[in-house]
Amino acid sequence: MQFLIDFAEEDPEFQAILARASNYAVVQGVVIDIDRLWLHLWATQGRRSGDRLRRLLRYYPDFDLFEYGDGGFLDPFIPSQPLSRQDIETWRPDDWEWLAEDSGRLFKRWPLVVKVCLRPQAGPDERIPTAAELYDGDGRLQVEVEVRPRARLASNPRRAYSPLLGGVSIGTGAADFGTLGVILTDAGGKHYGLTCSHVVAQGTAVTQPALRDMRSAGIIGTSILSSVLTGCAQGTRCNPWSGITANEIDAALIDMDGSVTPSVLEILDIGHLTGITSRAALTTGQTVEVMGRTSGLNSLRLGGLAAWYSFDHHGQDYCFRNLFEVESPYGRPGAIRQGDSGASVCAPGPAGTEWAGLIAGHDAFKGYAIYAESIAQWLAANGYRLQLR
Tally helices (H) and strands (E) across the chain: 8, 19
What is the edge-to-edge ordering of all strands in the sheet holding 112-118?
27-34, 112-118, 142-147
- Asked if CATH classification 2.40.10.120 holds for the domain at 164-381, the reply, yes or no, is yes
pLDDT at 73: 46
Say which residue, 96 or 221, is predicted with more confidence. Answer: 221
Question: Closest Cα partner for 360 from 316, 326, 383?
Answer: 326
Contact 53, 37 (CB under 8 A): no
pLDDT at 182: 97
pTM of the full structure: 0.78
- Asked if the model's pLDDT at residue 279 lies above 80, the reply is yes
Interval 166-181 mean pLDDT: 93
- Asked if the model's pLDDT at residue 341 lies above 90, the reply is yes
In which band, very low, low, confident or very high, does the pLDDT at 59 lie, cut at 50, 70 and 90? low
Q: What's the rounded Cα separation, in Å, for the pair 8 and 140?
A: 14
In which band, very low, low, confident or very high, does the pLDDT at 225 lie, cut at 50, 70 and 90? very high
In which band, very low, low, confident or very high, does the pLDDT at 48 lie, cut at 50, 70 and 90? low
For the chain, domain boundaries: 2-147, 164-381
14-23, 87-96, 296-305: least confidently modelled range:
87-96
pLDDT at 151: 76
Q: Which of 24-28, 60-64, 144-148, 221-225 has the highest average model confidence (pLDDT)?
A: 221-225
Q: What is the tens place of the pLDDT at every residue in 253-262?
A: 999 998 888 9
